[in-house]
Chain A
């Protein structure tokens, strides 16, 4: 086999080689023919085309027959040739291997195509050949060109974007955008639409000679731009004649349109629109470029808007600063929310106590009122207030807590108004669209909220300051008022009312004595029933003493004591409620129940107690002030209590003044009474003095008389002695020598001398001061002795009923004398006999003697003059007897009186006090000085 094959092979080899060559040649030829790239083979030296493939002839649009044998020159446009050969040909020849050069070919029809040629030079059968593979790169070239253009436009766009950012108003933005659209992007007819409310408005255009003022409703059918805005997608209309929505804006002859929405996220701000007089004038690239531009514009516009909004917010901020009241703040804030930020349905809720209340709103009905509990479940606003964070509800239908403000609302944004951590209120906006608010809205609203918070805080401070200055003005007013009012009650009422103005609904001022027992009460803000209840329930003095004492020291706030219900010790000790009793259910009967409702209270409990003592400057407690039911529902702080301390002092001083005035007026009254009494006394005394003066005069007169009498009496005694002696001698010596008549005469002389002496004695007695020589005696013995000294005739019957008791100290001699006188008178009154009775009895502190006779009695005329000295009815006697009697008895401090009836009898009543006072007439009697008499006698 092998051998055979060898030959065969050798023959086959040759054959096969030839076959192979032929096969490969065939293959090669096929490949050559069907190659996609155009292949030209040309003589390297002559440049004559030897061969070309189908692709080649297609490339240049000539038949092979037209190409083979022609110079390669004909393949290229003239400008690409350099002399005889094309440039690339030449170049290719220079290089040996695989160089790819770009050039252009020209077809039979004259069409220019870009090609890339890869050429190889090789030798075949002794000829130098050059084979060039021509690839049509027209497309690529075009694309490249396009890309370059695109890039150029894009870079221009980006530059535009930067300059856009510096645009400070919409017009500039529009202008710049149009500039780009026209000049950079090469759109001949361009316009810019902006969304305004529910319409799309044409704001700027280029290329149109005249333009209609276009304002297309966004929910309408007119306008490709509207469609783009609504769809939020670019809309390209290659043939506007087929588009119903087309609106002829300004120029005729437009055939295609491209509208690209200017949007940020999903919000459409406007539409960029380009038109062309050509059909299908805009392609993807245009759309892309426009979209990029649109996004830049969108950013620019939204930035502008944002800046606008921010600047408006700043204006708002400034307006807020000028707000003078909370209502102003609400108004300004709402205006900003509505006009500046574009929130149509806006409301402001404020925290009041434990509730969140609607204070102001725009866009809702006027009588909308909302008052939501802060710890409740209702209200998106409540949620915001509680959490202190903005709450955004994109679809309220999914929100449980949604509270209906107005129907058809679909989304809500609530932003809390905070000052540091304290939530003052909530700004709330609603929209009829779902997810009608975005981050920007929240941000803006938060800025607004913070402005509002500051403003509210300021306003509150202002209000507080004004309140404080009002209160101070009230204080001054009340002080002035107090000065005008004189009545203590009224004054205290003024103070109580002033304290009310400081925010306490009920004020009680109680006046207290040293034991802290209530003496009086002044109230303000209490009903009659409450006052009555208070009086019934008031605690005793010692309880109050304790309440002001060390046990309660820790509850002091300045000069006030605040006893909170929340403290268990207070509940137990003061109110008597056991510690275990639950706070809410425990009640107390101390004090008067509060009128506060639970909602009104913030941290003050109705059972809290607040009081302060009213102390005078020396520290004495004159009253107690207590208040409750604060208007703001808050418990007192040092700041809220300090201004009231002024009232404490005022009230204390008022009370002290009142007390002083009272004691003063009392003293004055006493003084007046005294003065009156004094006057009376003076009058009395004057009367007495007058009387005593009279008496004195009388006495003086009498004394003078007495003196005189005394003097005369004394002087008379000596001559009387002489006469007496002489008469005696005569009688003795001459008795035998004289007759009876003469003797009688001498007797007469003697008797008369005795009588004269008696008169002198009586006179002297009467004129002399009575000095009492007191000795103890008893009525019986006095009367008995007196009786013994009187000559009682047998015809007179004596009844002595005097008693031994009581013992009495008298000047017995003198008393006897007096009694003797009385008895003698009695006897003399009964010349024909009768009865003489003597009695004694004790009455009160006096000893009474009664002497009665059955004699002739005393006439009225005589009665009047009975006690007068020198008066007598008797034939004998000067009539000193009874006068001396009276003097003696009066000297003992006693009295003598007489009763008589003519023809029936006389009764003498002598009363002597058992205890000697030694007053009376004796004092007034003038003592005749013995020395004086002596002197007068000698001269």
Chain B
């Protein structure tokens, strides 16, 4: 993929932030981490991140709510919820609120990396899809316009 993905880690546990950062950087991603939702919102407002790893329990906000916030501001960013409370209800709600995936602590790292990868690919695809879509649209529109032009000329004797 072209650019290197930028991932934001949002977790109030410093150790986890460190470990995640280390592992993910080793994979070649650009990692930034914050410890609070507020910081997370600030960050995502300034820069674009491809993916965010969000802990469901943050000191100043529920992860779910953060999701909602982020959805509005950064719809394209892939969001993965990390939680230590694996309940179906939580999962359903998270997905409803805009989470793209769900990881349970403590996670199998390999599995987690795979999930991240998948999400990024999905994002790429979507992007492309949307690019394609735009291109297609333009093309179509141009064609339509051309057709129209031809028709109007024809009807003008």
Residues of A at under 8 Å CB distance from B? 714, 717-726, 728-729, 732-733, 753, 757, 773, 930, 934, 937-938
Contacts and interface: CB of A to CB of B under 8 A. Distances in A.
Contacts of A930: 85
A724 B15 CA distance: 11
Nearest to A717: B84
A773 B88 contact: yes
A606 B110 CA distance: 119
13 contacts: A718-B16, A721-B16, A721-B19, A721-B105, A721-B106, A721-B107, A722-B13, A723-B106, A724-B106, A728-B110, A757-B106, A773-B88, A934-B57
A728 B23 contact: yes
A733 B13 contact: no
Given A721-B16, A725-B20, A938-B59, A732 B105 contact: no
B105 A720 contact: yes
Contacts of B16: 718, 721-722, 725
Contact of A729 (B19, B88, B105): B19
A476 to B, nearest CB: 87
Contacts of B105: 717-718, 720-721
A729 B18 CA distance: 11
Given A722-B16, A729-B19, A937-B57, 14 more contacts: A714-B85, A718-B13, A720-B105, A721-B106, A722-B13, A722-B18, A723-B106, A725-B20, A725-B22, A725-B23, A728-B23, A728-B109, A729-B22, A938-B59
Interface in B12-38: 13, 15-16, 18-20, 22-23, 26
Contacts of A724: 106-107, 109
Nearest 7 pairs between A and B by C-beta?
A: A725-B19, A722-B15, A717-B84, A728-B109, A721-B106, A720-B106, A718-B13
Nearest to A938: B59
Contacts of A719: 15
Nearest to A934: B57
A111 B81 CA distance: 205
A714 B19 contact: no
Chain A interface helix/strand/loop/mixed: helix
B106 A732 contact: no
Contacts of B26: 729, 732-733
A350 to B, nearest CB: 114
Contacts of B59: 938
Nearest to A719: B15
Interface residues of B, number: 19
A718 B55 CA distance: 10
Contacts of A753: 106
Contact of B109 (A725, A757, A934): A725
Contacts of A721: 13, 16, 19, 84, 105-107
Nearest to A728: B109
Interface in B83-142: 84-85, 88, 105-107, 109-110
A718 B84 contact: yes
A722 B84 contact: no
A726 B84 CA distance: 18
A732 B110 CA distance: 11
A725 B110 CA distance: 10
A111 B20 CA distance: 217
B100 to A, nearest CB: 20
B18 to A, nearest CB: 8
Nearest to B84: A717
A717 B104 CA distance: 10
A723 B18 CA distance: 11
Which among B20, B59, B109 has the highest number of chain A CB atoms within 10 Å? B109
A717 B19 contact: no
B109 to A, nearest CB: 4
Contacts of A732: 23, 26
Nearest to A710: B85
A736 to B, nearest CB: 14
B11 to A, nearest CB: 8
A573 B20 CA distance: 114
A718 B20 CA distance: 12
Contacts of A937: 57
Interface string B54-77: 000101000000000000000000
A37 to B, nearest CB: 192
Nearest to B59: A938
Nearest to B62: A934
Which among B13, B23, B57, B106 has the highest number of chain A CB atoms within 10 Å? B106
Contacts of B57: 934, 937
A934 B109 CA distance: 26
A720 B15 CA distance: 10
A729 B21 CA distance: 11
Contacts of B19: 721-722, 725-726, 729
A732 B16 CA distance: 17
A938 B12 CA distance: 11
Contacts of B22: 725-726, 729
Contacts of B107: 721, 724
A77 B73 CA distance: 209
Which among A724, A753, A937, A938 has the highest number of chain B CB atoms within 10 Å? A724
A717 B106 contact: yes
Contacts of A733: 26
A937 B127 CA distance: 41
A720 B19 CA distance: 11
Nearest to B110: A728
A717 B19 CA distance: 14
A151 to B, nearest CB: 166
Nearest to A732: B26
A554 B30 CA distance: 120
B81 to A, nearest CB: 14
Contacts of A714: 84-85
A810 B22 CA distance: 44
Which among A732, A733, A773, A938 has the highest number of chain B CB atoms within 10 Å? A732
A729 B19 CA distance: 8
A759 to B, nearest CB: 12
Contacts of A757: 106
Nearest to A720: B106
Which among A714, A726, A934 has the highest number of chain B CB atoms within 10 Å? A726
Which among B19, B107, B110 has the highest number of chain A CB atoms within 10 Å? B19
Contacts of B110: 728
Which among A719, A726, A728, A757 has the highest number of chain B CB atoms within 10 Å? A728
Which among B18, B23, B84 has the highest number of chain A CB atoms within 10 Å? B84
A753 B109 CA distance: 12
B80 to A, nearest CB: 14
A720 B13 CA distance: 12
B19 to A, nearest CB: 3
A753 B15 CA distance: 16
A739 B123 CA distance: 40
A485 to B, nearest CB: 77
Nearest to B17: A722
A762 to B, nearest CB: 13
Nearest to B55: A718
Contacts of B88: 773
A757 B104 CA distance: 11
A601 B16 CA distance: 125
A735 to B, nearest CB: 13
A7 to B, nearest CB: 224
B93 to A, nearest CB: 13
A733 B19 CA distance: 13
A327 to B, nearest CB: 113
A706 B88 CA distance: 20
